Amino acid sequence: MIGNNLKIAWRNMVNNKLYSIIKIGGFAFSIAICILIMLYIRHETSYDKMYPNMERVFRLIVSAPDGDKVRQTFAFPAPAAKTLQAEIPSVELAGRILPNTLFGAGSNLFTVNGSAENYLDKGFVYVDQSILEIFPLPVVQGQLSHALDKPNAIVITKSRAQKYFKGNAVGQTIYLNNNKNVLYNITAVIDDVPSNSSLYGYDYFISLAGEPFYPGEQNNWGATNYITYVKLKENADIANAQRSISKNYIQDHYILLNKKNGKKISPEMMQSTVLLQNALDMHLHSKNISEYGMATQYQGDIKMVWIFAGIAFFILLIACINFINLSTANAATRAKEIGIRKTIGSNRRTLIIQFMTEAICYSLISLLIGLLLAFLLLPLFNNLANKVLFIPWKVWYFVPSLILSMLFIGILAGLYPALYLSGFQPINALKSKSVTNPKSSLLRNGLVIFQFATSIILMISALIANQQISFMLNKDIGFDKDQVIVLRGITGIASQAKELKNELKAIPTVRDVSVGDYIPVQLDGVKRNGNLFWSKGKEDLELGEAGQFWNIDESYLTTFGLKLIAGRNFDPHIASDSTGAIVNKRMIADLGIKGNPIGVKITNGMTWTIIGVVDDFIFESMKDEGYYPVCMTLANSPSMLSIKTKSTDMSETLANITAVWNKFSPNQKIDYNFLDAGFADLYQDVQRTKNIFSCFAFVAIFVAALGLFGLATYVTQQRTKEIGVRKVLGASSIRLIRLLSGDFIKLVFVALVIATPVAWWAMNQWLRDFNYRIEINWFYFILAGLSAILVAFGTISYQTWKVVRANPVDSLRDE
């Protein structure tokens, strides 16, 4: 029986090639997209699951009221980890990560001891030995235990060992940023960090067991620069542990320290608590946690996971709708077959099994083609999503789960057509009477509306996301990011920075040059330094205002086009400028400085005299506030150099810059970036969202159009004689095209009406994540609607035109 059903299913596929291609094509494309999205979701939800006992590992979060909001951060002081492990009985292990570029994390220039070659590389981070025990990775060379117990020890990944060392890297020494006085000893080589690990992006793990970064730093409870993790003991009560840790940190140390130092204790500080965030939740559930100063480009968002899952569901549903629509619409061609089979003894159950077998065959064939498409599209999707995904052929449950899913989808898609077709009365079918049910036409129309409504929602989403990214990239941000080239890794020639700067300025196409690491755009290696500021004399009366403290040179303002609105720029020939400061308007406002700010003294532990004020400029993500108070002082910070050019021939300018660089640093390859490109990179996640929405919208409209093409083919075939009669009676081609197309176009209009409020609500929710955002314009809805109508009209126009242009004699010959 099964063999006979399969044979009949195959014959029907071959005899109805057009409908078969549409059904399989729509299913295959939808399955391919679903597989890609499922791979993405699988990756996003697998973060840190490769490590043991992650249910007992937690990141510490400080939660404090901030007006009518709650502010959360994972920045903790240096002594917190050691103290909590010693004083909280339920803490088995505690460890710290220091990713702050201010202290040397991020990018560094390094040299293998005994070699003349300098290399600029990223991925440096300071960690405790306990971090390698909490997040263990397979060891390639050396021993992981006690690898970072000693000062100046460093553990590197396999890829870096293979790139820079021949043979065994353990025991080799390197020095950073041309500082030959501090040699780092490689104690172990570990496997590369997986892309679904919270440590992904780090390749050099430097021991925190060395000297403090400044005197007293390791015992300073007031400076919060570390990410702190704890591993609780087995069977420890998490709620009790959280209460104990919160009391220990907030009450017993942080507040007590402020009281001893005579600092004012705010109500917000008194209400602060420490929360334990499970390590398995960090990647997808940290959207509202401030990463200021310690941001990672690999943070995910559970909201996007749900959105992608929803899109996968709806695209697959559109394909199922195509199957249902085409199967029921094509009922008339199967009516006599069903009538004959019922007459010779087939019962309804047998027919249902037959039609369900056909549906499952369609779904399984589509699965094979969909897998091939997913394999071919995976590199493109990886590029779009900025992921390293792969099809897990070797995972035992992958293929069986796909087959079971396709069986389920085949049954689901084929159930209604099977019940509908098997219910035909044989006498009506054999007499060529109409076997169609008006209710089935209503259902088909509803399903077409659903298909196009989904497609229009995705199109509107892509258009609005595109407008938002365009808005952010073109917004006036308060400084000039265009035609600025940033050189990195100049620490090796820091003593020659002045001479290098002068030679670069001598290039005719160079306008200005600034040496410094505190660049307005957060490129790799750029520093940020958060401090508390007071108006001088108010340190013990006020809580202080959080702001940035930057070291710049006298060319900084002109290089980046910052607008000086009061006072003057730095002048290295004026001795008092060594204690002078240029601040932004936000600093003046937050400190409550009234009247002329020039000459006013402010303090962050050191006293500075304001000599200039610049207009506010955006130097952080526009998803958040974008800018904060800034205090800039005249000091050296020579690991980066920014060049403002005035050339339209950038290749010639780069060649001249490279020639100057090679003169000063012949053993180090030049490393540069364009400031505007780095600015655009800050919003890669928004750009990716827009691109993915665009691709999904294309797939959805394509699959919907396939189904509409099949329906149009069926309708025109059914109305061929009617069209012939109308032509004989004098109907024009335009009138006939309008007659055949009108019903479908009306359905698209209805879909637009339904899609508009849904898309408006959804994109308003998405835009709420941006502090700087566009207002939704009705133009996007009109454009998406017109696009859907054009797609629909273009899809059905071929069939309608073919029928309209046919000779009516051919269609009426047998009447």
- DSSP secondary structure letters along 430-490: HTT-----HHHHHHHHHHHHHHHHHHHHHHHHHHHHHHHHHHHHHS--SS--TTEEEEE-G
State the pLDDT at residue 682. 80
Instruction: Report the C-alpha gap between 16 and 503 in whole angstroms.
Output: 75
**Domain ranges for the chain:** 1-45+304-436, 59-283
State the pLDDT at residue 47. 93
Quote the tokens at residue 212: 């403090």
Is the sign of the CA dihedral 655, 660, 665, 666 positive or negative? positive
Is the sign of the CA dihedral 271, 277, 282, 284 positive or negative? negative
Instruction: Report the C-alpha gap between 37 and 30 in whole angstroms.
Output: 11
State the pLDDT at residue 349. 74
The partner residues of 576 in beta bridges, in order of sequence, read: none
Instruction: Report the C-alpha gap between 793 and 789 in whole angstroms.
Output: 6
The closest alpha carbon to 524, from 487, 477, 471, 562, belongs to 487
Instruction: Report the C-alpha gap between 79 and 93 in whole angstroms.
Output: 14
Q: What is the DSSP letter of 229?
A: E
Pairing of strands 601-603, 510-515: unpaired
Cα atoms found within 13 Å of the Cα of residue 152, Cβ hemisphere only: 14
Q: Burial, 649: exposed, middle or buried (Cβ in 10 Å; 0-12, 13-18, 19+)?
A: exposed
Q: For residue 248, what are the contacts with CB-CB under 8 A and spacing of at least 6? A: 83, 84, 87, 88
Angle ∠(777,681,641) on CA atoms, nearest 5: 135
Does residue 775 sit in helix, strand or coil?
coil
Angle ∠(587,589,590) on CA atoms, nearest 5: 65
Q: For residue 545, what are the contacts with CB-CB under 8 A and spacing of at least 6? A: 532, 533, 534, 587, 590, 591, 629
The closest alpha carbon to 53, from 135, 147, 130, belongs to 135
Q: How many CB atoms lie within 10 A of CB 98?
A: 20
DSSP 398-415: HHHHHHHHHHHHHHHHHH
Q: How many CB atoms lie within 10 A of CB 756?
A: 19
Cα atoms found within 13 Å of the Cα of residue 240, Cβ hemisphere only: 9
State the pLDDT at residue 425. 61
> How far from chain centre, in Å, is Cα 778?
27
Quote the tokens at residue 168: 């065994």
Helices assigned H by DSSP within 330-437: 331-343, 348-385, 398-422, 426-430
> Could you tell me if 139 and 190 are in contact, meaning their C-beta atoms sit under 8 angstroms apart?
yes
Angle ∠(702,703,709) on CA atoms, nearest 5: 85
Does residue 266 sit in helix, strand or coil?
coil
At 230, give phi and psi (nearest 5°): -130, 145
> Could you tell me if 394 and 705 are in contact, meaning their C-beta atoms sit under 8 angstroms apart?
no
Instruction: Report the C-alpha gap between 601 and 611 in whole angstroms.
Output: 10
Q: For residue 334, what are the contacts with CB-CB under 8 A and spacing of at least 6? A: 421
The closest alpha carbon to 582, from 612, 552, 621, belongs to 612
Walking along the chain (815 residues) 10 residues at a time, the average pLDDT comes out as: 67 71 82 90 93 95 81 89 93 94 88 87 94 94 92 95 90 90 94 93 93 87 90 94 92 79 71 92 85 60 87 83 70 61 68 76 86 91 86 84 82 70 58 51 77 88 88 89 91 86 92 93 87 85 84 94 94 93 94 92 93 93 83 90 87 92 90 89 81 82 77 68 71 72 83 93 88 88 89 77 65 56
Whose tokens are 């971090």? That residue is: 131
State the pLDDT at residue 358. 78
For the chain, the straight-line distance linking the first and the last C-alpha, in angstroms and rounded, comes to 41
Quote the tokens at residue 247: 């009391």
Rounded to whole angstroms, what are the CA distances from 625 to 285, 290, 463, 508, 685?
Answer: 20, 11, 24, 38, 18
Helices assigned H by DSSP within 606-683: 650-664, 675-681
State the pLDDT at residue 435. 47
DSSP 571-601: -TT-GGGGGEEEEEHHHHHHTT--S--TT-E
Quote the tokens at residue 380: 């493109």
